Chains A and B, each alone.
Chain A
Amino acid sequence: MGAVRVAVLIPMAVALLCGYGARAAPQSASADGDWTMPSKDYAATRYSTLAGINAQNAGSLHPVWTFSTGVLGGHEGQPLVVGDTMYVVTPWPNVLYAFDLTREGYPLRWKYRPEVSANALGVACCDSVNRGAFFADGKIIYNLLDGHTVAVDARTGREIWKTQIADVGNGETATMAPLVVHDRVIVGAAGGEFGIYGWVKGLELSTGRIVWSARNMGPDAEMSVRGETFKPPYEHGADLGKESWGNDSWRTGGAPVWGWMSYDPQLDLIYYGTGNPSPYNAEQRPGDNKWSTSVLARHPGDGTLVWAYQFTPHDNWDYDATGAMVLADLTIGGQSVKALVHFDKNGFAYTLDRATGRVLVAQPFTAVNWAESVDLTNGRPVLNPAKQTGASRGNTKDICPSLEGGVSPASPPAYSPRTHLFYTSTSNMCMDYAARPAKHLKGVPFVGVNAPYSAGPGGYLGSFMAWDAATGKKVWENKEPFPNWSGALVTAGDVVFYGTLDGWFHSADARTGRVLSKFKVGSGVIGNPMTYRGPDGRQYVAVYAGFGGDWALIAGDTRSDDPADIRAPIDPVKDIARYTSQGGIVWIFGL
């Protein structure tokens, strides 16, 4: 133990002496005890090389510390740990806490409480969530719900810059975690339910100045398509992002950015998914509606679009593609492939070639009936004509998955290079979908649907599973009574961690799924577990408990037998109030 401790402490001491000066370069091995970016690394693996907690000892995991954030909104996202400080961002009003991990009880070093307009609450589609911060260049960088990005000095808590990136008056809010690459801070806005004209922006890391801005649809010139550099894998032609929208509907077509971003340093490409096209009545926007419900690959320096692939052309089920794009080198059919793996709301798990965007594997990971399969020759889904929607079709019944998705994009997966498996929460629900015409009115929702949910096949509402993305097959699955809404964490100890909507926090054997420990954390888990090495050299695991997000409707004081509380669309989870209610608690577990 002694030698291990010394080996651990020396790099930490160096880090302390040098301050937090390092930029967001790929991490060295000595930094592996930290968690400096939302998804742990640029590849968005949520994999930690820490192995102090393993399948043999995880049974004795227990809480070592808790903290109430004082906020009751849905707690998505995850803490950061840099050196001996833990950083926590709350839902609106987006307080940033910095905890001193070297002192008993982890007292605050400082607290940063920005001014965030309450008006933003009315244009945040699905609770007042925040998906976390990014540490780079000595700064903690995150988004405020009212459409600002802030950079705060990681040591002092003083605001370094604050930039307005989005317009609340136009239905835009900022819930995603930024991605920092070299001297760019990449951010986007939510608002797929408000008819925004979706975009991403690149800010200067040192000043917050907006360097570039690129739309997710519209004319090539507005999408940062520059000459011949844009090569989508299956389409050709100019202005695809404009010509695939009838009635000029791209102008209010949504395609928001509120999920996760990843980065490949060799290809110099960032990857992110776009949300649903607006409105939900697809007949108002004839065509494929590119590049909504798509993955886009851009150069971070100037935003140049390199390729894009659309998972759900002409989305008419609200199948946002904002879930994580996990980068992994896989062996597929005996060949080594630089892959991008994505679990989509539409129920298919996709394995793409991340250099070109071509689909290599696409298989359903949950109940799917809107499409039969994905045609690998053209990348398009083979549609089930009985499950298409639109105002003229009336009420289309029993569509799977529901518009909550086969997995929530807010619940990112993890990938272990040791097991070669991906780990993800799932949601097993279906829906009816009655669309009707919607009128665009700036600053208010642009939706036009009534879509009640129902339980999916099999008598359970969600699960946590392991997935082989090289073959497109499920390896193991732990079924849950409620939709599972937690992100995943996997470690070199071959342990996976996840929470449940009814408030359990689990560790499980990464190879078999056998649950190793469980603890009731006081509120449903919709956040993402992370792990770090503490100043004492020991491994810890942290997670938020804070029921809400898409479930805010029933997160308060509800009665399962009161039709005012338990009503469509969320009535399949009617008795969850017996097990949990809203909260806002940071939990840390150790051995």
Chain B
Amino acid sequence: MIAPLSASGCRGRFWRLLWTAPLLAGVLLSCGQPHPSNNEAASAAPPAAAYEAHVVAGDVPPPGGSLRNPHNGDAGVARGGAMLFNAMNCDGCHGTDGTGWVGPNLGDGRWRYGGSDAEVFNSIYYGRPHGMPAFGGTLGIEGVWTLVTYLRSLTPPPNVPTESWQN
């Protein structure tokens, strides 16, 4: 399952869309490059069974791969991801700058399905219940990592537990 996903990641509908959004093409040049080997412990490509952080029954984690963002912390990729966020209509549900609308706020640090690179990747790539569409087929692996890099660049405001209306 892994190889076909990796191979198709750069040739999907996303590339046809990019012809009409030339500004975005630059951020995805790396898509033509070989992906890191799937033999590595952590991969940029989705393994057949990814493991996400949950409570582990009996302290025995299930077998499964993990994911590594090849662009972790890259500000240039994050800027491209911001454009991609609008170009793919993500803002239509998640609001301008990811601040939320019918879909949840993506910049407040409160994640329904986890906020790690791998969890955010899986949310976008495979979709989630309660309405998140699967974008993996359209965006490919590289496109999804570009979005993850953007979302992880958003800085949540400080969480102040108390709000008071008293003087």
Chain A interface residues toward B at CB < 8 A: 118-127, 193, 436, 438-439, 441, 443-447, 450, 552-553, 559-565, 567-568, 578
Whether the Cβ atoms of B131 and A438 lie closer than 8 Å is: no
| Interface check B5, CB cutoff 8 A | no
Whether the Cβ atoms of B17 and A436 lie closer than 8 Å is: no
The answer to whether A441 and B96 touch (CB under 8 A), given A436-B86, A553-B101, is no
Whether the Cβ atoms of A553 and B100 lie closer than 8 Å is: yes
| Interface check B133, CB cutoff 8 A | yes
Closest 8 pairs between A and B when the two form their complex, measured CB to CB: A445-B92, A122-B131, A564-B108, A121-B131, A447-B92, A450-B96, A445-B89, A559-B163
Residues of B close to A123: CB separation below 8 A:
131
Instruction: Please report the C-alpha to C-alpha distance between residue A389 and residue B49 in the assembled complex, in whole angstroms.
Output: 47
Whether the Cβ atoms of B21 and A439 lie closer than 8 Å is: yes
Instruction: Please report the C-alpha to C-alpha distance between residue A445 and residue B102 in the assembled complex, in whole angstroms.
Output: 11
Out of B100, B109, B131, which one reaches A118, CB within 8 Å?
A: B131
| Interface check B129, CB cutoff 8 A | yes
| Total A-B residue contacts, Cβ distance less than 8 Å | 83
Residues of A close to B103: CB separation below 8 A:
122
| Interface check B130, CB cutoff 8 A | yes
Instruction: Please report the C-alpha to C-alpha distance between residue A553 and residue B87 in the assembled complex, in whole angstroms.
Output: 23
Question: Interface residues of B: mostly helix, strand, loop or mixed?
Answer: loop
Smallest beta-carbon distance B103→chain A, Å: 7
Whether the Cβ atoms of A444 and B133 lie closer than 8 Å is: yes
19 sample A-B contacts, Cβ–Cβ < 8 Å, listed by A number? A121-B102, A121-B130, A121-B131, A122-B93, A122-B103, A127-B102, A439-B87, A441-B17, A443-B133, A444-B88, A444-B93, A447-B89, A553-B101, A561-B160, A563-B157, A564-B105, A564-B110, A567-B100, A578-B165
Number of interface residues of B (CB under 8 A): 35
**Closest Cβ neighbor of B108 among chain A residues:** A564
Out of B20, B138, B160, which one reaches A562, CB within 8 Å?
A: B160
Interface 1/0 per residue, B89-115 and A, CB below 8 Å: 111110110011111010111100000
Instruction: Please report the C-alpha to C-alpha distance between residue A193 and residue B138 in the assembled complex, in whole angstroms.
Output: 20
Whether the Cβ atoms of B156 and A564 lie closer than 8 Å is: yes
| Interface check B7, CB cutoff 8 A | no
Smallest beta-carbon distance A571→chain B, Å: 10
Interface 1/0 per residue, B13-57 and A, CB below 8 Å: 000010011000000000000000000000000000000000000
Smallest beta-carbon distance B16→chain A, Å: 10
Whether the Cβ atoms of B131 and A439 lie closer than 8 Å is: no
Instruction: Please report the C-alpha to C-alpha distance between residue A578 and residue B95 in the assembled complex, in whole angstroms.
Output: 24
